[in-house]
Amino acid sequence: MKVLNCILLLLALLGSCQTKTTITHTLNSPTLIDIFPDSLALVEIEQKWGEEDFPVFMDDVMWYHSELMIMVDTLRMDRISTESRNLKLIGGEKTWEIEMDTTAQKWRYIYFDGTDFIEKDAIAMKDYLIENY
């Protein structure tokens, strides 16, 4: 247990030393942006859910994620997948800056429809794309 705590502390220290680089994406066509947690966020999630429930939780998350990605691939939609913590999305007249470390959401799905940004969870995003793409 001490070793695990030391590893978690080391990961937290390394994460706090990282510079906050903002990655900019300029979008010119309908695009789905999926942002997923980095290793530090996954450690937090595992601590929250516990060793026993964490695999079940992750299995559910990955199933819904894969269902959405299959839909995006079927629609031949542009997609950006990232675990970047700081993003700047530029699409048309709109700009959206995202700092993942300041939100409780660990997975985010953002759709740029050519004009606006729309954010929904994986299940709702799949339904939205079926109706609107």
Average pLDDT, the chain: 87
Domain that holds residue 32: 19-132
CA 97 to CA 42: how far, in whole Å? 22
Residue 116 forms part of a structural domain: yes
Examine residue 13 and state whether it is found in any structural domain, yes or no: no
Give pTM, 2 decimals: 0.78
Residue at 82 is within a domain: yes
Residue 51 inside a domain? The answer is: yes
What values do phi and psi take at 84, rounded to 5? -60, 140
Helix 39-74 to helix 122-132 angle (10° resolution) is 20
How many distinct structural domains can be found in the chain? 1
Question: Within a 13 Å sphere around the CA of 77, how many CA atoms are in the beta-carbon half?
Answer: 27
pLDDT of residue 90: 94
Between residues 37 and 101, the one the model is more confident about:
37
Q: Is residue 1 domain-resident? A: no
113 part of a folded domain: yes
Tell me: the pLDDT tens digits for 6-50? 565 555 655 555 556 889 999 999 999 999 988 888 899 999 999
Q: Quick check: 106 pLDDT over 90?
A: no
pLDDT one-digit tens code per residue, 58-99: 999 999 999 999 999 999 999 999 988 899 999 989 999 998
Output the pLDDT for position 100.
Answer: 83
Q: Is 32 exposed, middle or buried (0-12, 13-18, 19+ CB in 10 A)?
A: buried
> Does residue 40 lie in a domain region?
yes
- The three-class DSSP label of residue 36 is coil
